[in-house]
């Protein structure tokens, strides 16, 4: 039975996942590279919860309970006693492979090693371990505290038992599991990227403004947000990284990153994480030009 879970990574996904697991009473150990990363993690985690309190989505007592279930460390060896590992570092295959090699040596042989990758090969990560049958993908969509679906991705050697345990964990945290057999981009990333990329080309070609492109799609198709705001929410650097992976692995030009996207990433206009992307955002990450029609 899973009672203790290790989350590797202190970025936005790491913060969200730690809250998802803490909310259902799991003991969460979050591992960061440095103490500075840990300090930033705790600061941003507290600030995010305070924003929810300000919106009457959370109470101070609930915040204290959530934080009490989360402990942090910059020493990877501290995850030795966990029952399940959730990797949530940046999308770099070589770094993830190195990490899985270490996780394999540090944790008990029965512990499942899961990756939150949105596009990389689970089978390739599994080959870095001596337990390929216990390696699986759990793609929580961003932000994991709000998105209700999780792609449960089987690598070539993922066992049925591993899949069932991972699916049960998804159910425990109140999400809907979707079974996926490994393929570049899985379901959600593969389908959404051409949509976002085409919106960027439409903007670059001067067909309409960013605001009107998003307005047309959002209202016309009853979406909660348009493709450009969605890209800002994900992070434009992440979107470009995913597109490059799919373009490389599938070879289809529809996954070739829009030149405007490359320009914005080079300029560090990454969306909500820098408060400036296709739109601008305030300290609470609300759009400064919030549409009147919402």
CA angle 290, 279, 151 (to 5 degrees): 95
Mean pLDDT (whole number) for 152-169:
98
- Buried b / exposed e over 247-260, threshold 16 CB at 10 Å, is beeeeeeebebbeb
What's the CATH superfamily of 4-181? NAD(P)-binding Rossmann-like Domain (3.40.50.720)
Mean pLDDT (whole number) for 248-266:
96
Is the CB of residue 73 less than 8 Å from the CB of residue 100?
no
| pLDDT of 292 over the 80 cut | no
Q: Residue 286: what pLDDT?
A: 86
Using 50, 70 and 90 to split pLDDT, how confident is the model at 290?
low
Q: Tell which residue, 233, 229, 234, has the closest CA to residue 211.
A: 229
| pLDDT of 291 over the 90 cut | no
Q: Residue 289: what pLDDT?
A: 80
Q: Tell which residue, 24, 28, 3, has the closest CA to residue 15.
A: 28
Using 50, 70 and 90 to split pLDDT, how confident is the model at 128?
very high
| pLDDT of 179 over the 60 cut | yes
pLDDT, one tens digit per residue, over 205-250 is 999 999 999 999 999 999 999 999 999 999 999 999 999 999 999 9
Q: Could you tell me the residue ranges of all domains in the chain?
A: 4-181, 189-274
Using 50, 70 and 90 to split pLDDT, how confident is the model at 284?
confident
Mean pLDDT (whole number) for 266-271:
97
| pLDDT of 294 over the 80 cut | no
Mean pLDDT (whole number) for 84-105:
96
Q: pTM above 0.75?
A: yes
Using 50, 70 and 90 to split pLDDT, how confident is the model at 152?
very high
Q: Residue 283: what pLDDT?
A: 83
Mean pLDDT (whole number) for 249-273:
96
pLDDT, one tens digit per residue, over 68-82 is 999 999 999 999 999
Mean pLDDT of the chain: 95
Mean pLDDT (whole number) for 273-278:
95
Indicate the class that CATH gives domain 189-274. Answer: mainly alpha
- How many helices (H) and strands (E) are present in the chain, helices listed first? 11, 8
pLDDT, one tens digit per residue, over 15-48 is 999 999 999 999 999 999 999 999 999 999 999 9
Using 50, 70 and 90 to split pLDDT, how confident is the model at 91?
confident
The CA distance from 88 to 138, in Å, is 10
Is the CB of residue 103 less than 8 Å from the CB of residue 81?
no
Q: Residue 293: what pLDDT?
A: 55
């Amino acid at each position: 039975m899973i009672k203790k879970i290790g989350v590797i990574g202190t970025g936005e996904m790491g913060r969200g996942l730690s809250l998802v697991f803490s909310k259902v009473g799991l003991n969460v150990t979050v591992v960061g590279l440095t103490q500075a990363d840990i300090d930033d993690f705790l600061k941003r985690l507290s600030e995010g919860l305070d924003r929810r309190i300000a919106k009457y989505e959370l109470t101070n007592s609930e915040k204290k309970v959530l934080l009490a279930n989360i402990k942090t460390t910059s020493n990877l060896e501290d995850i030795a006693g966990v029952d399940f590992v959730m990797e949530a570092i940046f999308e770099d295959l070589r770094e993830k492979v190195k990490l899985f090699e270490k996780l394999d040596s540090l944790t008990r042989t029965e512990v499942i090693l899961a990756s939150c990758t949105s596009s990389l090969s689970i089978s390739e990560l599994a080959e870095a371990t001596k337990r390929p049958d216990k390696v699986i993908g759990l793609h929580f969509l961003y932000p994991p505290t709000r998105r209700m679906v999780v792609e449960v991705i089987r690598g070539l050697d993922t066992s049925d038992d591993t899949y069932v345990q991972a699916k049960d964990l998804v159910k425990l945290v109140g999400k809907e599991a979707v079974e996926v057999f490994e393929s570049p981009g899985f379901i959600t990333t593969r389908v959404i990227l051409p949509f976002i990329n085409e919106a960027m080309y439409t903007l670059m070609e001067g067909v309409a403004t960013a605001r009107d492109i998003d307005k047309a799609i959002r209202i016309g198709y009853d979406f909660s947000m348009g493709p450009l705001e969605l890209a800002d929410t994900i992070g434009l650097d992440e979107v470009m990284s995913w597109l490059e992976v799919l373009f490389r692995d599938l070879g289809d030009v529809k996954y070739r990153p829009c030149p405007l996207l490359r320009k914005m990433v080079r300029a560090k206009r990454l969306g909500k994480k820098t408060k400036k992307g296709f739109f601008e955002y305030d300290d609470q990450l609300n759009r400064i030009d919030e549409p009147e029609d919402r």
